């Protein structure tokens, strides 16, 4: 469709990644398929009640998470239609509220300590550096792989990491003492003349699959399936549950464009519920 091609070009101009663009277009294609079955009129006649009907369809046929993702995609598309003058009124679909507490996706502190112990016992400076960077900064595994030597600034009592996140957006993340020490120790043994990427393995710069393999081999020793994303969730959970840390600070650390996205980390452990209820006499 010509309209979808125009929208695709708009997303490209916005600097969206190819993966993100493909996801948006899939969602919009499904929406337009549904819309065309409801009416013989073109998209320029779109009405609010039709968007509300589509929301009900999504709520009926899929999970709340999937439905809300599709609703977000449709809202972006509808905003673009309005900006282009294709529709005359500004329309919007409300997301679906999920009252179910989010399941904790990180590592319990005791498990994280066991994992850390195994990594330190092995003594591989590269692996320690990987673990401590993920554990202490909450960066995504893709961001970890993209770190170059020039992105790191370390002084005696301070450290800064420049991170290239989604959509090529840059942010600055503080390096605490543990992260700084892990980096400095690794740099002492890091292979020379192997390019600018920080993390170098036997075959060159590490990619995300190599990071996953490294973490899983240690997780296997303690009987836990471990991923980089779990360490990101673990840090976020600690920050969310620290009353002295502002939610805008957490947003900045984790590199989320929208404050509302931080809500995915407001997770509840079964232990949290138990402690809350046991505290009541």
CA distances from 159 to 177, 182, 191, 268 (A): 8, 12, 22, 32
Going from the C-alpha of 99 to that of each of 64, 102, 230, 271, the distances in angstroms are: 10, 9, 23, 19
Closest to 4 measured CA to CA, from 38, 40, 32? 32
Helix (H, G, I), strand (E, B) or coil at 165: coil
Active site residues: 140, 166, 229, 232, 256, 265
Specify the CATH superfamily of domain 109-269: Intergrase catalytic core (1.10.443.10)
Q: Per-residue pLDDT tens for 66-80? A: 999 999 999 999 999
Strands (E), the chain: 152-154, 159-164, 170-174, 200-201, 204-205
Greater pLDDT, 84 or 256: 84
pLDDT value at residue 11: 93
What gap in Å lies between CA 226 and CA 36, rounded to an integer? 44
Angle between helix 228-240 and 125-137 (nearest 10): 40
Q: Tell me, what DSSP letter sits at residue 243?
A: T
Q: Which residue has the higher pLDDT, 164 or 257?
A: 164
Please tell me whether residue 16 adopts helix, strand or coil conformation.
Answer: coil
Query: What is the per-residue pLDDT across 200-247, written as a single tens digit (0 to 9) for each?
Result: 998 899 999 999 999 999 999 999 999 999 999 999 888 888 888 888
Structural domain 2-83, CATH architecture: Orthogonal Bundle (1.10)
Helices (H), 105-207: 109-122, 125-137, 141-145, 177-189
Please determine, for residue 281, whether its predicted confidence score (pLDDT) is greater than 60. Answer: no
Average pLDDT for residues 118-128, to the nearest whole number? 97
Instruction: Report whether 132 contacts 180 (CB < 8 A).
Output: no
- Out of 80-84, 191-195, 260-264, pick the least confident: 260-264
pLDDT band at 51 (very low <50, low <70, confident <90, very high): very high
Average pLDDT of the residues of the chain: 89
If you write DSSP's letter for every residue of 65-87 in order, what string do you get?
HHHHHHHHHHHHHHHHHHHTTSS
pLDDT of residue 220: 96
pLDDT category of residue 101 using cuts at 50, 70 and 90: low
What distance in Å separates the CA atoms of residue 252 and residue 11, rounded to the nearest whole number? 24
Confidence of residue 249 (pLDDT cuts 50, 70, 90): confident
pLDDT (0 to 100) of residue 131: 97
- Give the three-state DSSP class for 201: strand
- Which phi and psi angles does 88 have, rounded to 5°? -95, -20
Q: Report the candidate in 69, 74, 78 with the shortest Cα–Cα distance to residue 54.
A: 74
> By the 8 A CB rule, do 173 and 165 touch?
no
Domain boundaries along the sequence of the chain: 2-83, 109-269
| Phi, psi for residue 198 in degrees, rounded to 5 | -65, -50
């Amino acid at each position: 469709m010509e309209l979808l091609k125009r929208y695709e070009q708009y997303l490209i101009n916005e600097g969206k990644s190819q993966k993100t663009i493909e996801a948006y277009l899939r969602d919009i294609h499904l929406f337009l398929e549904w819309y065309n079955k409801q009416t013989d009129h073109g998209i320029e006649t779109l009405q609010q009640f039709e968007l509300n009907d589509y929301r009900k369809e999504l709520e009926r046929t899929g999970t709340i998470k999937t439905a809300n993702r599709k609703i977000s995609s449709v809202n972006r598309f509808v905003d673009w239609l309005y900006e282009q003058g294709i529709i005359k009124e500004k329309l919007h679909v409300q997301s679906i509220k999920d009252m179910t507490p989010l399941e904790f996706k990180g590592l319990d502190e005791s498990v994280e300590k066991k994992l850390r112990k195994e990594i330190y016992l092995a003594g591989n400076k590269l692996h320690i550096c990987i673990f401590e960077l993920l554990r202490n900064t909450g960066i995504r595994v893709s961001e970890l792989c993209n770190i170059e030597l020039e992105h790191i600034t370390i002084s005696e009592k301070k450290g800064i990491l420049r991170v290239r996140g989604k959509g090529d957006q840059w942010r600055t993340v503080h390096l605490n003492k543990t992260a700084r020490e892990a980096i400095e120790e690794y740099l002492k043994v890091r292979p020379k003349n192997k390019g600018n990427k920080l993390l170098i393995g036997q075959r060159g710069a590490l990619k995300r699959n190599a990071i996953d393999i490294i973490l899983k081999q240690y997780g296997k020793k303690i009987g836990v399936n471990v991923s980089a994303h779990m360490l990101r969730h673990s840090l976020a959970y600690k920050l969310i549950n620290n009353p002295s840390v502002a939610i805008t600070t957490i947003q900045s650390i984790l590199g989320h464009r929208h404050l509302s996205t931080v809500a995915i980390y407001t997770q509840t452990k079964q232990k949290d519920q138990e402690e809350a209820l046991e505290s009541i006499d």
